Structure 1
């Protein structure tokens, strides 16, 4: 019962941490506002291939699958920014990759995460089936 309670409390948490970023595989896609060139390379918008995936690492680096048509092998790093008020409440929480536009953090009903801005979106993939994985392996409906 205690484990279930802790799990439910964590599922309501909306502040993402570096550990959360690194605990998941992330699907990546461009938004409709992104330039057409990039959308044409993106399977989300009809290009062939599996969805693009990104991997965040504890050292702050990001990698992609070797056959990713968008990933250029460039160095990328991420930062999780959290601003707290004096009473400990979160004032802001966002993620930034390199010097690109910051991404807002959203916790979905299935306890997965979404990071997005006007150009692209990252969605964590629930991985309860893997050893030490997080998130439910089934959709949650409230």
Structure 2
């Protein structure tokens, strides 16, 4: 037998021996684990048992109610029993109220009748990150309006924002595409005004450009604040949606 064949045979024998040892160790660990599991079930050790089996659904729900929403959402993955408790409306109703506290607008979609509260919470988070403004968003809110520093001086002289007086000017968008102001608005002047929203896309539905245009004025680009309120602005003007969290049925598109 050649020396190389002898060495190859020895290497294969060592490899097989290592594999056998690994299998034995794995089997031993599984056996020990099974024995411990059976022992825990026999002795009723609560530390090593499923909290759901030890505490029951009512106590588990009380415990989950003290956790943040992310931790509760993770508990949905534990088991079917945990999912039944952690997805209950009783639990997520309070989470929704915590989420909506201090927000300027509550999404209409999240307040749909019959919608599970877990879904309402998720949809609220998604809608709060939405930066594409829809016609419903424009029409559902009243808007504070003021001129920016780049606007002509004679416009700013009529603007309460720059004069430090109140109330600030307001603008209103309507479903027919028109825009109006308060009757005593000195800047408005009673002229006709209309608006449009423009959105262009690139591949895979990604938004390339999105803006609102009023008459022939420069386009206004849209942004979202942390409290879910809207902001639209160009060089001359700025619009901010006025908070209306108590509006019946919520606001925005369905």
TM-score (norm 2): 0.51
Higher relative contact order (CA 8 A, sep 6+): 1
Partner of 2:103: none
The 8 Å contact of residues 40 and 47 in structure 1, kept in 2 or not, is answered as: no
Instruction: Please show how residues 1-142 of structure 1 align to structure 2 within 5 Å.
Output: 1-46=118-163, 48-134=165-251
Runs of 4+ more than 3 Å apart: none
Find the aligned partners of 1:68 and 1:36 in 2 and give their Cα distance: 17
Q: Distance in 1 between matches of 2:166 and 2:185?
A: 9
Question: How many residues are treated as equivalent by the alignment?
Answer: 135
The structure in which a higher percent of residues are helix is 2
Instruction: State the alpha-carbon separation in 2 of the partners of residues 38 and 127 from structure 1.
Output: 29
The TM-score normalised by the length of structure 1 is: 0.90
- Rounded Cα–Cα distance in structure 1 between residues aligned with 2:241 and 2:165: 21
Q: Which residue pairs with 1:139 in the alignment?
A: none
Query: Superposition RMSD on alpha carbons, in Å?
Result: 1.3
Would you tell me which structure has more strand in proportion to its own residues?
A: 1
Distance in 1 between residues matched to 2:218 and 2:206, nearest whole Å: 24
